[in-house]
A = this chain, B = another copy of it.
């Protein structure tokens, strides 16, 4: 057991602890993703364990594919603005469908390009390189 909720950290220490650049932390603050922390007499930001939790939330959400804007919404929900789980679910589902659409685009690209690369491997005459042909070909 450590004395929780009493840790005091500078921005540099929070940065170190969460593997986030201090500049980025200030940026998140400006964007409203992190609350304005209290300050020391000399105007240094003071963080505690709650800040670590917040920042970790942001990093996790980013990994799962949420944008910073999405994350603001998620925080609003997490912070208990009387919403329902189904609302989060719907929100996550809409992000999920964006991810899937993006994947479909990439899959189409991957298919076309890999087939071209394979055909290209067959001969080394640039005159009939299938990649260039595909790009140049009329209609």
CB <8 Å contact, A106 and B114:
no
Closest chain-B Cβ to A22's Cβ sits at a distance in Å of 22
Task: Say which one of A5-13, A31-39, A40-48, A95-103 lies at the interface with B.
Answer: A95-103
The chain A residues found within 8 Å of chain B, CB to CB, are 53, 56-57, 60-61, 63-65, 74, 77-78, 83-86, 88-89, 92-93, 95-96, 99-100, 102-103, 106-107, 109-110, 112-114, 116-117, 120-121, 123-126, 129, 131-132, 134-136, 138
Residues on the B chain within 8 Å of A138, using CB: 53, 56
Residues on the B chain within 8 Å of A135, using CB: 57, 60-61, 64, 74, 78
Name the residue on B nearest A49 (C-beta).
Answer: B138
Q: How far is it, in angstroms, between the C-alpha of A78 and the C-alpha of B134 when the chains are bound?
A: 12
Closest chain-B Cβ to A104's Cβ sits at a distance in Å of 10
CB <8 Å contact, A85 and B126:
yes
CB <8 Å contact, B65 and A109:
yes
CB <8 Å contact, B103 and A89:
no
Residues on the B chain within 8 Å of A89, using CB: 117, 120-121, 131
CB <8 Å contact, A110 and B103:
yes
Residues on the B chain within 8 Å of A121, using CB: 89
